[in-house]
Amino acid sequence: MINIIFEPNILLAFLITVLMVLLYFLRIIKPQIARDQDIFFATIGLLYSSILVIHGWRLDPILLFSQVLINSILVPTCWENIRLRAIAYAFQKFKEEKNN
């Protein structure tokens, strides 16, 4: 049975979907900091968000809160990882220019 109701699970799924699409487009926007495993993680994130949309109506409030907490830890960690990739790339480029 598929029962899609507009509840907080839809907002959480929409947020994760937007972030995973941005992770897909990272390869187009900044290919030097994109990694091959980003496609795998973005696909898993899109699958997770679709499960939240389809079966999120069955979540108890405490289970939904746990999903919110997990995502509030995961999203900043991913952001920091991508930012550190950009810093490492800039440092490597600076080091190569300095050596030449």
Give 77-85's long-range contacts (Cβ < 8 A, gap of 24+). 78/19, 78/23, 82/26, 82/33, 85/33, 85/35
Within-domain flag for 80: yes
pLDDT at 54: 87
Within-domain flag for 21: yes
Please report, in angstroms and rounded to a whole number, the separation of the first and last CA atoms in the chain: 64
Contact call for residues 51 and 4 (beta carbons, < 8 A): no
pLDDT block averages, 10 residues each, the chain of length 100: 77 94 92 90 94 84 90 93 94 89
71/48 Cα distance (integer angstroms): 11
Within-domain flag for 2: no
Locate all alpha helices (DSSP H) within the chain, ordered by sequence: 8-29, 37-55, 61-99
Q: What's the domain range around 80? A: 8-99
Provide the domain count of the chain.
1
Within-domain flag for 3: no
